[in-house]
């Protein structure tokens, strides 16, 4: 059974950094691409980033490019999202999700972790 568990969320001041983790189990993590998607309170879903199965390729939406970094540790079955220079508008629930490849949409989702950026 596919299991994705996000952690690392919390309250952080604007301009600071936070690293999210997504622990994966129940499938061969090193075979699949992984995405981060967020949802601001009361708003829709926003795709943020995807990393290839081996971590060699990463893509980002414009709003986080240069501030957020996606990475993975296939030896530990963990996906990361390093978030720097956080802004109030980055406040959201952050979901990790699995897909078969970069060109495949997210299919299996974690429960999400809440990040609140506030002074």
Partner 1 sequence: QTVVTQEASISVPPGGTVTLTCGLNSGSVSTSFNPSWYQQTPGQPPRTLIHGTSSRSSGVPDRFSGSILGNKAALTITGAQAEDESHYYCVVYLGSGIWVFGGGTKLTVL
User: Which residues contact partner 1 (rule: CB under 8 A)?
Assistant: 35, 37, 44-47, 50, 57-59, 61, 95, 102-112
Shortest Cβ 102–partner 1 spacing (Å): 6
Of 36 and 80, CB closest to partner 1 = 36
**Is 103 or 119 the residue whose CB approaches partner 1 more closely?**
103
In contact, 22 and 6? CB cutoff 8 Å: yes
Count of Cβ atoms closer than 10 Å to residue 20 Cβ? 23
- DSSP, collapsed to helix, strand or coil, labels residue 51 as strand
Q: Which is nearer to partner 1, 75 or 103 (by Cβ)?
A: 103
Q: Give dist(CA 46, CA 76) in Å, integer.
A: 27
């Amino acid at each position: 059974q596919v299991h994705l568990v996000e952690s690392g969320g919390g309250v952080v001041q604007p301009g600071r950094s936070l690293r999210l983790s997504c622990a994966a189990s129940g499938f061969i993590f090193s075979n699949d691409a992984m995405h981060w998607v967020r949802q601001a309170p009361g708003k829709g879903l926003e795709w943020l980033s995807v990393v290839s199965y081996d971590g060699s390729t990463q893509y980002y939406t414009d709003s986080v490019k240069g501030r957020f970094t996606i990475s993975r540790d296939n030896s530990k079955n963990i996906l990361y999202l390093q978030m720097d220079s956080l802004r109030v508008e980055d406040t959201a629930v952050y979901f990790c999700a699995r897909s078969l490849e970069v060109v495949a949409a997210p299919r299996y989702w974690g429960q999400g972790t809440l990040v609140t950026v506030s002074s």
